[in-house]
Structure 1
Amino acid sequence: MKPINRRVFVERSSQAATLIATGSSVLGFPAIARSQSPGDQIVLALIGAGGRAAGHASGMSRLPGVEFKYVCDVWKDRGAGIMQDLGKVQKRAPQRIADMRTALDDKEVNAVVIATPEHWHALATVWACQADKDVYVEKNPSISIWEGRKMVEAARKYRRIVQVGFQNRSGPYAASARDYIASGRLGRIVHVKVYNMLDGRKWEPKPDSQPPAGLDWDAWLGPAPEVPYNAGRHLDWHPWWDYKGGTLADDASHQLDLTRMALGDPPHPKSVLCIGGNYAFQSQREVPEFQCITYDYGDFSMTCESGNATGYLRKFPGEVRFGDKWPHWPTSATRVEIYGTQAMMYLGRHGCGWQVVVEGGKVIDQDKGYFPDKWHQPNFIDCLRTRKQPNSDIEQAHRSACLVHLANLSYRVGQRQLMFDGALERFTHNEEANKLLKPAYRKHYRIPEEV
């Protein structure tokens, strides 16, 4: 197989990086009407004040012409560090609020950055779109297929920018991987393996108790079913179906989205089968410790293996994400392997980049990356001004999130294969699974059928 010309490839990657960083339509997203000029001040509200929120506040507030007016969290003890940091870099200090609707009602606010637990993502996004606010929402964008589609409908109806925190889509290495695969140099793609084999610990249930001082537990639950306060649900919501969807909805969603982009964003798979269980720790958590999923796309297959007890496998370290070092692929916990008829590609998220190998492990082509937040956050801010659709638009993010939801639903209905009608986003011949497409929302926290 003829190797790609390195000079041409570097030039192409550089051009892609420039287009991605400036929000140009390198990914083919349609533009919508301009509503702000490039020099306008951007006023943001931060919804949720946890760890990831701190990163967004720090990164976006340091971009030209950007400030946060509000920091919102239902727990008054959260966000002190964020408030302090913003107070140092902004001309005016942000206001601390507990109800996001205060920010949504403020006409000065252009956009919200949503970094709440996942069960709040969809409703907060719909509310924001209805209030004519643009949105940056963290991954995973939804906890169900139905509400993810409502996020798309709200974004389109109200002509809002909705960027999702799948930041690999802003990395030049992701664009170059997509271009390389599209060139046919791997041959015909026949199989893909996505890995999410992480370290972890045994999940231990916690007793119900009184909520900590300053926490509005009812507001934290929001759309989710009403239950007594439980520190396990509050501080470690990942293993519960009502709030997230486990390790698959956390780290694995990044690899699944990056894989879809690299493959040219294929439509929904035709079927899914997920088997799994609490194999390592025999815990009683709802979402299983380990899951093995097979997706059938018709002309290729894809598997995803996700778990939390393989500590000898590691995520890509800092010297890989932020430097020039390549990973040791076989022990990389979050690698992707793309198999063509002529060669295979190792693909890594969060700046790792990719390498193409042939017989004997010989590397014939490669493109090293860098952690993509430095492109993803500016892309969102730029799109607020240009009104171009962002690199991680809600439509493709929703389709990537569906891979998580499809797998979890297959597991929940007895680890059975499910046939999926992608056009309708419903299952054929399985009403039990169809009943789980939409969560049961609490009164006052419901997403309407017509957003």
Structure 2
Amino acid sequence: MKRRNFIIQSATASLAFSHLPLLSALGNKAYRYKTALIGSGWWGMNILREAIRAGESKVVALCDVDSNQLSLALEEVKKMTSDTPKTYRDFRELLLKEKPEIVIVATPDHWHPLIAIAAMEIGANVYVEKPIGHTLMEGRAMVNAARKYDRIVQVGTHRRVSPHNIAGINFLKSGKAGKIGMVRAFVHYGGGAGTVVPNSEPPQGLDWDMYCGPAPLIPYNKMIHPKGFRQFLNFANGQLGDWGIHWMDQILWWTEEKYPKKVYSTMARHIRQDNTDSPDTQLVNFEFESFQVSWEHRLYAANEAEKANVGCYFYGTEGTFHMGWQDGWTFYPANKNQSIIHQEPQLNKPDDQNIRELWQDFLQSIKQHKRPICDIEIGHRSTNMSLLGMLSAKAGRSIIWDGEKEVILNDPSANALLRREYRKPWEYPSVE
């Protein structure tokens, strides 16, 4: 992304503006950061509600390409606050006119990099949803931008602050499960074959061209929007790119290793017969220096035959540890004379999440000007694991990953998949 593609302030103005939140917060406990939400749908509003409840945000703007979502969001914000946010269809106009100090990026995945980087350029701190991008090199540009513009960037991997996840990781790090040789991460949800839904004209109020943005401009289909984009590969990376990143993040949180050395994946559509094009079945093997990781998902055959349908099993010499979601965590000792250990979750409604705690960490990081618990570099590595699994499956072979240089060794055609061409006039982000 070249700077001419966005309407931004001068370097001097941006630098001066970048220090306002920190100075104001230190001088006035009641300071409210000028906050903007870009992507006002289901999950974006989950984040904004917590920002409002924290009492340190003045909602100055809402942005969405769908005016139907936008009007509902505006109505709710007015009920929750005395704020009168402006509404926008184009995030560039919002950034120019409102100059927000905090920007929440909760759009479909393919828009995260361009919007987050543009927000950082004008001096805003950013809360960006996971996965941070659609391809690996977008993530590197986001990390570089955060460092270049000295911005606080929190990634929405809220399980890093979930009480039972924290306790579970501490349990594993303490060595009570012994030496871990293998981790199995999985998401098994139902769904079945589905049906084909004909394409149609976009509903009134939806700017479909802007929705597609840097992705290919394809015909509108109501299975994509609202809320269906995760299973369309132009805009996301299926179950592995959506749910998978949470569990990849848990694994990287536990280990001292920063990335896998080798990745091999296969994916297929054995059951699905609808408009989606993501795999309904996928297996991935990640080789680390000291342990192996397997990922598996299916979008069919929901049942109660298995104890858990999401999470990670850590297999250690002292027993098996399951890190779950709505079922907390459980340790099954190898010694049958020892008792099973379990901790229940502490999750917030709606949708059983811990955005509230993550937002508090974000605010504290802004005030202290320190990196947050889910810093963009951490989110980049976790996103990379998921994207490498998808890349291997698309390439049809195993890949050797140099995580320091962020290149695939001895495979030029696979390296080409680390990025993709953007639809004009959008330009692929590159920040040195």
Could you state the TM-score of these two structures normalised by the residue count of structure 2?
A: 0.87
Deviations 1:381-432 (A, max 9, x none): 2322222211111111111111111111111112x21111111211112222
Cα 1:166–1:44 shift into 2, 3 Å: same
Describe how 1:274-423 pairs up with structure 2 within 5 A: 274-281=265-272, 285-313=276-304, 330-349=306-325, 352-360=328-336, 362-371=338-347, 372-414=354-396, 416-423=397-404
DSSP-derived class of the 1:143 partner = coil
CA distance in structure 1 between the aligned counterparts of 2:196 and 2:379, rounded to whole angstroms: 32
Shift of 1:108: 4.8
Deviations 1:232-252 (A, max 9, x none): 344422222221011111122
Deviations 1:296-333 (A, max 9, x none): 002100101111113215xxxxxxxxxxxxxx9x4321
**Deviation larger for 401-410 or 423-432:** 423-432
Residue number in structure 1 paired with 2:412: 431
Cα 1:284–1:114 shift into 2, 3 Å: closer
Unaligned runs of 5+ in 2: 1-20, 348-353
**Deviation larger for 391-400 or 222-231:** 222-231
CA contact (8 A) 2:142 2:431 kept: no
Unaligned runs of 5+ in 1: 1-32, 314-327
Residue number in structure 2 paired with 1:320: none
The answer to whether residue 113 in structure 2 is matched with residue 133 in structure 1 is no
Deviations 1:337-392 (A, max 9, x none): 11112222111136724435334495454443312223112222232222221111
Q: Which amino acid aligns with 1:178?
A: I
CA contact (8 A) 1:421 1:427 kept: yes
Residue number in structure 1 paired with 2:147: 156
Q: Which amino acid aligns with 2:344?
A: K
CA distance in structure 2 between the aligned counterparts of 1:435 and 1:172, rounded to whole angstroms: 40
DSSP-derived class of the 2:303 partner = coil
Cα 1:50–1:342 shift into 2, 3 Å: same
Residue number in structure 2 paired with 1:62: 53
Shift of 1:209: 2.9
**Deviation larger for 423-432 or 128-137:** 423-432
Moved over 6 A (4+): none
Shift of 1:226: 2.5
CA distance in structure 2 between the aligned counterparts of 1:233 and 1:92, rounded to whole angstroms: 32
Q: Pairwise CA RMSD of aligned residues?
A: 2.2
Cα 1:429–1:204 shift into 2, 3 Å: farther
CA distance in structure 1 between the aligned counterparts of 2:281 and 2:50, rounded to whole angstroms: 34
Residue number in structure 2 paired with 1:42: 33
DSSP-derived class of the 2:229 partner = coil
CA distance in structure 2 between the aligned counterparts of 1:201 and 1:52, rounded to whole angstroms: 25
Cα 1:152–1:364 shift into 2, 3 Å: same
2:112 aligns with one of 121, 132, 135: 121
CA distance in structure 2 between the aligned counterparts of 1:351 and 1:96, rounded to whole angstroms: 39
Cα 1:162–1:361 shift into 2, 3 Å: farther
2:220 aligns with one of 229, 232, 242: 229
CA distance in structure 2 between the aligned counterparts of 1:190 and 1:54, rounded to whole angstroms: 40
Residue number in structure 2 paired with 1:77: 68
CA distance in structure 2 between the aligned counterparts of 1:419 and 1:163, rounded to whole angstroms: 29
Cα 1:307–1:362 shift into 2, 3 Å: farther
Q: Which amino acid aligns with 1:406?
A: L
Count of aligned pairs: 402
CA contact (8 A) 2:261 2:402 kept: yes
Cα 1:164–1:418 shift into 2, 3 Å: same
2:255 aligns with one of 260, 263, 268: 263
Q: Which amino acid aligns with 1:349?
A: W
CA distance in structure 2 between the aligned counterparts of 1:354 and 1:106, rounded to whole angstroms: 50
DSSP-derived class of the 1:339 partner = strand
The answer to whether residue 428 in structure 2 is matched with residue 447 in structure 1 is yes
Q: Which amino acid aligns with 2:247?
A: Q
CA distance in structure 1 between the aligned counterparts of 2:429 and 2:242, rounded to whole angstroms: 26
DSSP-derived class of the 2:231 partner = coil
